[in-house]
Structure 1
Amino acid sequence: MTGTEEVRVRRAVPGDEEEIQRLRHKMAFDVFGAEPPAADEPNHVAAVKKLRMWLEAGDEAGTVCFVIDALDGNGLAASAIGTIDERLPSSRNPAGQSGYIYGVCTEERYRRRGYSRLVLQALLDWYTAQGIVRLELHSSEFGEGLYRELGFEDPKGVALTRWAPHQ
């Protein structure tokens, strides 16, 4: 960070959902070349609705988002989303809860200032307060260095994904 800007990480609140989705679409475009959907596209509408529901529910939703407001007051500069998954307890994870991090995004004009690190650290602190010991994320080449600096490593075993065929 430059030292002249006042940056404050805050927990997202209802009303931030459109901006969180805008940042997620921006990241998808930058990483995958995926064009942002129209505001009335059904999946976009459903995602915004789901985000609002989670933001209104607070910790009860098991999903949280931390954001940084744009310095010019025009939307959000960065965001990170985290959710809690229930798994069976084990000796390494007695509570059986795991965290999944996604949607770590920074608006292009605010990149290279440490904003992703700030929202991600707020999310990591939240997980610690929740007693979550296992965290997982998927990284683009852009975020891999940051995640490794914060202790993320290659998973043990082979990570596989299956998508059901479209019907």
Structure 2
Amino acid sequence: MSDAFYIVRSATTADVAMLIELRAFLLDGTDASYSSRTPERQARWRAAYRGWLTNHLGANDNVQVLAVEHRDSGQVIGCATGIIDARAPTAANPNGLSGWVQSVVVAPQWRAQGIARQLMRQLLRWFDNREVATVVLQTTPDASRLYATLGFQTSTECLLVRQVRPS
């Protein structure tokens, strides 16, 4: 997919450093429970994410990491990750395939220009092409309206999280 000033493409290992910097907008110093609030924790998730990206980019059919590249500068200005998880089948999801959307991020100076929407449309097509009927994501209040326009609804299920903090 492309627009006048950017293209959405699969991320490559050459994008890893910028993918980490973009994800930092979500993971460093926010009020979220998963936020890293110390330099040590920031360094830890960054190193782990670098390894994860290196192992998954182009090597796993169940992971799609998208990058948004500015046409003129070649700079990566946005990203999104889709992951397909095989779960036990249900009546609503007979093949058990569930999609998970993570880290939809656009650099602050490029926000509110339709980039996140294009990322999501491309990820949703990727899920559709793999017969993934259920797609889940966690959102911020600022992004929830975008996801609602793409068909996402607040779940009526009670989601509980057990998260062991790394030492």
TM-score by length of 1: 0.85
Q: Summarize deviations over 1:141-167 as a string: whole Å, max 9, x none.
A: 121000011011111221111113556
Pick from 44, 63, 66: which aligns with 2:46? 44
DSSP 3-state at the match of 1:103: strand
* Higher deviation after alignment, 82-91 or 105-114: 82-91
Name the CA distance, whole Å, in 2 between partners of 1:71 and 1:29: 28
Amino acid at match of 2:119: V
Amino acid at match of 1:99: G
Match of 1:150 in 2: 150
- Structure 1 residues 84-99: aligned runs within 5 Å: 84-99=84-99
Match of 2:18 in 1: 19
Residues 1:9 and 2:13 are matched in the alignment: no
**Offset, 1:71:** 4.3
Name the CA distance, whole Å, in 1 between partners of 2:162 and 2:108: 32
Taking structure 1 as reference, are residues 44 and 165 closer, same or farther at Cα in structure 2, changes over 3 Å only? closer
* Higher deviation after alignment, 120-129 or 157-166: 157-166
Contact 1:26–1:36 under 8 Å retained in 2: no
Number of aligned pairs? 161
Task: List alignment gaps of at least 5 residues for structure 2.
Answer: none
DSSP 3-state at the match of 2:67: strand
Taking structure 1 as reference, are residues 132 and 37 closer, same or farther at Cα in structure 2, changes over 3 Å only? farther
Contact 2:7–2:70 under 8 Å retained in 1: no
Amino acid at match of 1:118: Q
Amino acid at match of 1:11: S
Amino acid at match of 2:20: Q
DSSP 3-state at the match of 2:6: coil
Name the CA distance, whole Å, in 1 between partners of 2:110 and 2:12: 21
What's the C-alpha RMSD, in Å, of the aligned pairs?
2.4
DSSP 3-state at the match of 1:65: strand
TM superposition outliers: structure 1 runs of 4+ over 4 Å: 33-38
Contact 2:7–2:71 under 8 Å retained in 1: no
Name the CA distance, whole Å, in 2 between partners of 1:101 and 1:121: 12
Amino acid at match of 1:115: I
Name the CA distance, whole Å, in 2 between partners of 1:29 and 1:148: 26
Identity %: 24
Name the CA distance, whole Å, in 2 between partners of 1:91 and 1:11: 33
Taking structure 1 as reference, are residues 72 and 80 closer, same or farther at Cα in structure 2, changes over 3 Å only? same
Amino acid at match of 1:56: G
Contact 1:31–1:140 under 8 Å retained in 2: no
